[in-house]
Structure 1
Amino acid sequence: MTGDDLALVAAASTGDAAAFDALVRRHTAKLYRVALRIVGDPADAEDVVQEAWVSAWRSLAQFRGEAAPTTWLYRVVTNAALAHLRRRKPTVPLEPEGQAGAALTDAGPTPEQAALRREKVDAALHAISLLEPSQRVPLVLRELEGMSYEEVAAVLEVSVPALRSRLHRARVALLAKLEELR
């Protein structure tokens, strides 16, 4: 987030709807991507992002600037996604399709290599979707969103060593899920 974003947060916290709208336009795509990878359904992810923005608007006055505004927004959307998962009935995740993993692929030199790569990405995304939310969230933020350990720890409100431990357990569980799916 840039200094402009800090200014937008400050302006929005005083009730400036245009500043808040600028934040929404600037960050919705990133927040949607995180929500989609946590909840696994495009329609649910849209609902989660909507809830997150409503929550962010309501709590702007409490933003103290102790963390970067992006960290705060990731925390808001992660909390909204986890709340959504707690509210909904357990379901079997659908097989990955469409654009959920599109950003992760880079086509190989041949169609066969591209198809094989796509299958591997789909299998990994499917396995991630089968993990418990407490394991899925850190993996999504660190491995798929590319956030630093410090940023993920701030979003999850845990220490970096605790995050490293969670990520280790999540990676072990992911490998087990991938083995199950073979």
Structure 2
Amino acid sequence: MTGDDQELMAAAAGGDVAAFDALVRRHTTKLYRVALRIVGDPADAEDVVQEAWVSAWRSMAGFRGEAAPTTWLYRVVTNAALAHLRRRRPTVPLEPEGKVESALADRSPTPEQAALSREKVDAVLRAIALLEPSQRVPLVLRELEGMSYEEVASVLEVSVAALRSRLHRARVALLAKLEELR
């Protein structure tokens, strides 16, 4: 099935399994990346995404279209990840991968610079993993996933002003964690 996300959401809300499957195929990778950055463990992230899709299917009829479908899906996966963290804290720090590397790493011309850049990326990701979920989630969505302030505020169900405040506190905490790791 083809179509934009709004059409797919409307069809899935009406019980169209093919439309829901198209949404799953289209968005699972992005949702997994968010879940991984929040929970810190690949196996746990897979579980969170699975839980999020089950929850999304069950509550699809409740999608009112006030937010973009992707924003709604980010909210569902974020809530599932936070619920997972409340049940069990991660025990292994995050390993850098994919988009995060490109978002944080410099394009280093020499091997020495590349190694130094890699160390910086690793340190930032370790520091993010040590933050409280209330600080980690907005940072992951805004800085690593590149969502707009409005999208992140919608996912977290807060005002943009409140989000900016949370991000400021998260960035300050991140800097403190980086200092601790040094």
Give TM class, smaller chain: over 0.9
Cα drift, residue 112 of structure 1: 1.1
Hey, what does 1:62 align to over in structure 2? 62
SS of 1:168's equivalent? helix
Q: Deviations over 1:149-179 (max 9, x none)?
A: 1110000000011001000000000000000
Hey, what does 2:13 align to over in structure 1? 13
**RMSD over aligned Cα, in angstroms?**
1.5
Hey, what does 1:118 align to over in structure 2? 118
Q: Distance in 2 between matches of 1:71 and 1:130?
A: 25
How is 1:1-182 mapped onto 2 (pairs within 5 angstroms)? 4-88=4-88, 90-94=89-93, 96-97=95-96, 101-104=100-103, 105-182=105-182
SS of 1:84's equivalent? helix
If the length of structure 2 is used for normalisation, what is the TM-score? 0.93
Aligned residues: 179
Does the 8 Å CA contact 1:93/1:129 hold for their aligned counterparts?
Answer: no
Give structure 1 stretches of 5+ with no counterpart. none
Q: Distance in 1 between matches of 2:48 and 2:123?
A: 24
Q: Runs ≥4 in structure 1, deviation > 4 angstroms?
A: 97-100
Q: Deviations over 1:56-97 (max 9, x none)?
A: 000011111011111100000000000000011x45433635
Q: Deviations over 1:111-167 (max 9, x none)?
A: 111111111001000000000000000000000011111110000000011001000
- Structure 2 vs 1, CA of residues 54 and 163 (structure 1 numbering), >3 Å: closer, same or farther? same
Q: Distance in 1 between matches of 2:132 and 2:93?
A: 15
AA aligned to 2:114 is A
How many percent identity over aligned positions?
82
Q: Distance in 1 between matches of 2:93 and 2:71?
A: 29
If the length of structure 1 is used for normalisation, what is the TM-score? 0.93
SS of 1:24's equivalent? helix
SS of 1:65's equivalent? coil
